[in-house]
Structure 1
Amino acid sequence: MLTVDIRLAKNEKIPWRLIEEEAILLDLDEGEVLRLNPVGAEIWSAIDGRHTVEEIVAHIRRTFEVSHWTARRDVHRFLKQLLRHALVEERLSVSTESA
């Protein structure tokens, strides 16, 4: 389940590059090249295992000057797709990791 305090990290098996304002991902398991638009590329770049979903939403809201609701909806939809295709993975929260 995707919650605002969850942290996600990129699947290390997925090679990717930023090219201008887009991100290109190579899903070797599926044999697909995925091309992310500027919003998707910005979300992808923010997925680093340290930032929470809510922090990514705030970043998208500021960067693209959209409402919190719009940013939240778009980020959540996109992250759910990435999780479904195993392009990202959940990371334990900092408090859980230190326990």
Structure 2
Amino acid sequence: MDKLKIIYARSHDLVEREIEGELIIVPLTSGIGDLEDELFSLNEIGRDVWARIDGKRRVSQIVEELKEIYQVERRKITTDVLGFLAELAKRKLIVEESPCQVT
């Protein structure tokens, strides 16, 4: 499947908080472990991607919006966004939406 056509939604099993200007995401289903490994901190661009993970936008739409905001080459922003989304998915902070769930 073309990764740019995927639609992601945020997991319901997490807590996000802003602490001293930094957005911190903590999964609730990770079990007991090293808390530092479980915390996920987002920089400005990460926050912009996170804000667009709404269960409605395709990855291609997120890429296009960020390309316009940051005025960077499409290939660069695509690589960065796909890498970031892969990390979020690996940590189970986002889930793929099936096309029939999207309204």
TM superposition score category, shorter chain reference: 0.7 to 0.9
Give the structure 2 partner of residue 62 of structure 1.
68
* 1:4 alignment partner, SS class: helix
Q: Which has the higher helix share?
A: 2
The question of 1:72 aligning with 2:99 is answered no
Give the structure 2 partner of residue 25 of structure 1.
25
Deviation at 1:15, TM superposition (A): 1.0
Runs of 4+ aligned residues of structure 1 deviating over 3 Å after TM superposition are 17-22
Structure 1 length-normalised TM: 0.83
Give the structure 2 partner of residue 86 of structure 1.
92
Query: Unaligned 5+ residue runs, structure 1?
Result: none
Distance 1:57 1:22, change over 3 A: farther
Amino acid at match of 1:60: L
- In the aligned structure 1, how far is the partner of 2:21 from the partner of 2:75? 23
Query: Unaligned 5+ residue runs, structure 2?
Result: none
Deviation at 1:24, TM superposition (A): 1.5
* Matched residue count: 96
Deviation at 1:27, TM superposition (A): 2.3
Distance 1:21 1:50, change over 3 A: farther
Instruction: Please provide the CA RMSD for this pair.
Output: 2.1
Structure 2 length-normalised TM: 0.80
Once the two structures are aligned, what percentage of the paired residues are identical? 29
